[in-house]
Amino acid sequence: MNIIPTTIEGLVIIEPKIWKDDRGYFYESYNKKIFADAGIDAEFVQDNQSFSQKGTLRGLHGQADPFAQGKLVRVIQGKVIDVAVDIRKNSPTYGQHVSIELSAENFRMFWVPPGFLHGFVTLEDNTIFTYKVTNLYDKASEIGVIWNDADLNIDWGIEPEEAILSEKDKVLPSFKDFVSPF
């Protein structure tokens, strides 16, 4: 595996080694030792998966302590723009984000540790997005920021009117009204 640091400390891109032949492909999507050697010493407690049509935007979400989650995200089918926003108050990159294209074709994964908001938008129909988390979901610990916040200025790769949102995601606060628990 190739572990690639990003411009924000803690966020890393993981490129697995792919073995392809006329039967198809094989790759190791998780190896505790390799991840720990790269500084990702996480214990995963739950796996989640979503199926979405093109333009579905999920985020920007997170969970506060004591239910803060690290996420190891990847795409099984289709393509997304995946985004993580630093909400660690004492971080020099507070309020900054990293976005990455994840797809079934590029096999990339993205490690998003606790202290970040996370979201993604699907760029293809029938996209299957999956992620491992380090803590269980707790509704009372949900936090978030509106996806199209002007201060964050995230390029989602779609026109705003194309975004398909949940009712919950339509009413999240702006970044300047958000109080980070980290």
Enumerate the active-site residues.
61, 131
Whole-angstrom distance, CA of residue 11 vs CA of residue 138: 23
Instruction: Give the CA dihedral 24, 40, 98, 123, nearest 10 degrees.
Output: 30
Cis peptide upstream of residue 92 (ω within 30 degrees of 0): no
Query: Residues of 142-169 as b/e, b for ≥16 C-beta within 10 angstroms?
Result: ebbbbbbbeebebebebeeeebebeeeb
CB contact set of 24 (below 8 Å; sequence gap of 6+)? none
